[in-house]
């Protein structure tokens, strides 16, 4: 079994947000939704042992994040806690186990957004921050900016007390083999080989006060060059949250940026009165699929409705609606949660 490492402690006091739970805390049933990336291996290539490892990691993420919600903590805390578990698992393309760049280093992007006040934070192209999602939250709570990048983001993280590590901490043999295979192949790849584009992790949460948050963390694309940044750290593309709708995305980031996918879904909910299911399906299947843009999203409404549309072979995904109510699926044929 793959070891699930302890989550990194949250940094940045919530007092910075100047937010408290409403007087009606406890009246809203909390919900946590996570994903571990779209564009997964096809069912016949995922061994039972590896599938069990993925399910165990996703379950651990849900349990840790949902515990925060049951404790009455804000939705952003649950999002961070859930994503930290996935960042510390070598199974996913985030944190430890993230993909390699062309120069054989690991670079991370992450973002978080809080729906109640639409505050957001993001980091891009960082290579030494232990927990990228924590760094994004630090930007949200302790910076006047929304996005910091590269060495500047790392200097900020160090200043606010986040842990910096050597880049080798994030390296895994599996990702090194993937890089070498990718550099030796032509541009014509099968779906399974094309997994260099996918593997982002994310979470959306509804807390007891009825507030939504969304977060996303990734290592980007295998063999990426020239400081490429995808949709994950871009508010409105890979992450979005408002008072009605929260989204975290995974897929071919260039397209998710061009079509502002996360915001587009919530805009359809807010402006056109669409359900999150109809809005998500319209963007993923009617907008992205015709242009061969693969990927998916997890969506959560303020009423606790969940939607998880994707147009790839599968998407690692899970939902927790009560203490012992965990549902995890991987393939399209697994059905809706």
Q: Which residues are catalytic?
A: 200
SS3 75: helix
Measured in whole angstroms, the distance separating CA 225 from the mean position of its chain's CA atoms is 22
What does the alpha-carbon distance between residue 308 and residue 4 come to, in Å, rounded to a whole number? 25
Range list of H helices, the chain? 48-70, 75-87, 132-142, 150-159, 173-183, 253-258, 261-272, 276-281
Q: Could you give phi then psi for residue 315, rounded to 5 degrees?
A: -155, 125
306 CB-near residues (< 8 Å, 6+ apart):
31, 33, 276, 298, 299, 300, 319, 337
What does the alpha-carbon distance between residue 249 and residue 230 come to, in Å, rounded to a whole number? 11
């Amino acid at each position: 079994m793959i070891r699930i490492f302890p989550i990194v402690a949250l940094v940045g006091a919530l007092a910075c947000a100047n937010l408290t739970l409403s007087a009606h805390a406890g009246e809203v049933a909390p919900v946590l939704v996570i994903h571990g990336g779209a564009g997964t291996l096809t069912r016949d290539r995922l061994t039972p042992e590896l599938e069990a490892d993925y399910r165990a990691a996703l379950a651990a993420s849900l349990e840790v994040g949902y515990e925060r919600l049951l404790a009455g903590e804000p939705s952003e805390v649950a999002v961070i806690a859930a994503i930290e578990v996935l960042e510390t698992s070598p199974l996913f393309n985030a944190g430890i186990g993230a993909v390699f760049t062309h120069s054989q280093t690991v670079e991370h992007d992450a973002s978080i957004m809080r729906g109640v006040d639409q505050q957001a934070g993001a980091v891009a192209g960082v290579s030494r921050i232990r927990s990228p999602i924590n760094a994004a939250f630090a930007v949200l709570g302790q910076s006047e900016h929304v996005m910091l990048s590269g060495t500047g983001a790392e200097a900020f993280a160090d200043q606010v007390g986040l842990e910096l590590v050597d880049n080798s901490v994030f390296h895994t043999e599996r990702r090194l083999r993937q890089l070498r295979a990718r550099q030796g192949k032509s541009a014509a790849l099968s779906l399974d080989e094309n997994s260099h584009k996918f593997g982002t992790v994310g979470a959306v949460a509804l807390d007891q006060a009825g507030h939504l948050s969304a977060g996303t963390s990734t290592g980007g694309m295998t063999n990426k060059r020239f400081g490429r940044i995808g949709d994950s750290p871009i508010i409105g593309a890979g992450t979005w949250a408002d008072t009605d709708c929260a989204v975290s995305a995974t897929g071919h980031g260039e397209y998710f940026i061009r079509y502002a996918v996360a915001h587009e879904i919530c805009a359809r909910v807010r402006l056109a009165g669409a359900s999150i299911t109809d809005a998500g399906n319209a963007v993923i299947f009617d907008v992205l699929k015709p242009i061969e843009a693969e990927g998916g999203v997890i969506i959560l409404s303020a009423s606790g409705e969940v939607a998880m549309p994707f147009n790839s072979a599968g998407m690692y995904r899970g939902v927790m609606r009560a203490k012992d109510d965990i549902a995890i699926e991987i393939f399209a044929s697994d059905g809706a949660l």
